[in-house]
Amino acid sequence: MRELETLAVYAFATVLQLPFHLIIGLPWFLVAWVAWRLSRSLSRRARAALIAISIAGGLAPLYGFHASMMPAYAILIGDASFWLMALVSFAITWLVIFVSVFWLTKPRTNDRPVQSNL
């Protein structure tokens, strides 16, 4: 039961701190945008994976004292003993971002005939 409470606290802290975390991640979004522009020759799946790597690298959260969320790379710079938790956080973040980007870049086909409003 205690683990469920801890998970709930971390989930709540993540939601509350998300705007701050996204602001910290802005440079990583810029890297992802540049990678998206330069990787036009790759398949949709490979491009989504590349973008997800760059964004997850900057957004993967780790939790410090009192459930304060920081990017995993920032915590690893100060204390490398959290590398396993950082790797798990990166993998989960990458998967969520990859699925989101892959879904958002789905080709839109218009197989239906054009309907007129007249």
Higher pLDDT, 92 or 109: 92
Residue 104 CB-half CA count within 13 A: 11
Task: Show me where the domains of the chain are located.
Answer: 23-104
Looking at the chain, the whole-number percentage of residues with pLDDT higher than 70 is 90
Name beta bridge partners: 49: none
Counted residue by residue, the chain has a size of 118
Average pLDDT (28-48) is 92
Residue 98 has pLDDT above 90, yes or no: yes
Q: Which amino acid is at 1?
A: M
pLDDT in tens, 42-77: 999 999 999 999 999 888 888 766 667 778 887 788
Cβ atoms 94, 52 nearer than 8 A: yes
Predicted TM-score of the model (pTM): 0.74
Higher pLDDT, 51 or 21: 51
d(CA 65, CA 110): 51
